């Protein structure tokens, strides 16, 4: 059993040979919402470890959903787009001081985490997203860039329809699910504008035994996404068991061998 502390997370990253550590941060360590949040001070410990530190902050929409519930928030958007936009905007104002604390503590990048889609499609049309979210995200990204930090956007689900708006908001990176997007088309369209944080599916991490066909498809995906850089091998799924950790180690080993053969480099 791994202790749930920042030092334990750092030790696990080093043991796995990782280059990055991503840390969910808020002012409170409360796990009432079912997931672990660290304090901004923990960023400083991580920054001293030699790992590239990414602070993960719940975005304005996610903060509103955590407070009111997804159904009520989506109903508000459907009933009154302007009013919903103002509510999301009020939540956005609370994020700036948290960005300050994380970047001043040593975070090199800040990831705005929003779940804005189901596996089958987004919660919003592109027009609604453009009206409510793009101005807020553009301001947040500009603020991060002004502090010298990279800006990354995360959402699970199929966010294909709003990716152009994410790009126009000037995010540097996109964390997304393998299962829900055409990653190769995404790479071809936006490879020079977005670093993709992806490549590890829920299925492959949850399978006790990985088949040769799964290995082949996994390595093909990684090779295609890693071409010409702009790719970080990562997952939108947490590591919930020792089996998942062992599977991930094996997958890293496969990637290392593949890139050594092709003369490429990788980061995870």
Where do the structural domains in the chain lie, given as residue ranges? 6-175
C-alpha dihedral over 55, 53, 251, 260, to 10 degrees? 140
Higher pLDDT, 49 or 240: 49
pLDDT tier, 257 (very low <50, low <70, confident <90, very high otherwise) = confident
**CA dist 1 → 12, 123, 255 (Å):** 12, 37, 27
pLDDT tier, 29 (very low <50, low <70, confident <90, very high otherwise) = low
Model pLDDT for residues 59-115, shown as the tens digit of each residue: 999 999 999 999 999 999 999 999 999 999 999 999 999 999 999 999 999 999 999
SS3 24: strand
pLDDT for res 264 = 47
- Which numeric CATH code is attached to 6-175? 3.20.20.210
86-114 b/e with 16+ CB inside 10 Å = b? ebbeebbeebeebbebbbebebbbbbbbb
Structure tokens at 59: 């975005």
pTM: 0.92
Model pLDDT for residues 122-151, shown as the tens digit of each residue: 899 999 999 999 999 999 999 999 999 999
Question: Phi/psi at 232 (nearest 5 deg)?
Answer: -125, 120
Rounded-to-integer distance, Cα 81 and Cα 75, Å: 10
| Exposed/middle/buried for residue 11 (C-beta within 10 Å: 0-12, 13-18, 19+) | middle
Cβ pair 151, 145 in contact under 8 A: yes
Structure tokens at 111: 């990831």
Question: Phi/psi at 140 (nearest 5 deg)?
Answer: -65, -45
């Amino acid at each position: 059993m791994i202790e749930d502390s920042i030092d334990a997370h750092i030790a696990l990253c080093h043991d796995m040979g990782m280059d990055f550590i991503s840390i969910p941060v808020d002012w409170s360590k409360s796990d009432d919402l079912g997931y672990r949040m660290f304090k901004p001070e923990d960023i400083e410990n991580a920054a001293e470890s030699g790992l590239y530190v990414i602070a993960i902050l719940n975005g304005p929409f996610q903060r509103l959903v955590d407070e009111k519930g997804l159904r009520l928030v989506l109903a508000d958007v459907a009933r009154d787009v302007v009013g919903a936009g103002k509510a999301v905007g009020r939540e956005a104002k609370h994020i700036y001081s948290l960005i300050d604390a994380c970047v001043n503590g040593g975070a090199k990048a800040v990831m705005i985490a929003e779940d804005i889609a189901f596996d089958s499609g987004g919660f919003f049309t592109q027009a609604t997203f453009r009206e409510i979210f793009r101005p807020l995200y553009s301001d947040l990204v500009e603020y991060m860039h002004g502090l010298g930090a990279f800006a990354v956007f995360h959402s699970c689900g199929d966010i294909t329809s709003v990716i152009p708006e994410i790009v126009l908001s000037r995010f540097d990176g996109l964390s997304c699910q393998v299962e829900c997007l055409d990653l190769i088309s995404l790479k071809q369209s936006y490879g020079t504008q977005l670093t993709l944080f992806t490549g590890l599916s829920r299925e492959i991490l949850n399978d006790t035994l990985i088949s040769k066909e799964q290995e082949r498809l996994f390595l093909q995906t990684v090779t295609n996404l890693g071409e010409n850089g702009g790719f970080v091998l990562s997952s939108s799924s947490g590591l919930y068991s020792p089996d998942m950790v062992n599977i991930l180690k094996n997958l890293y080993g496969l990637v290392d061998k593949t890139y050594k053969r092709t003369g490429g480099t990788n980061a995870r």
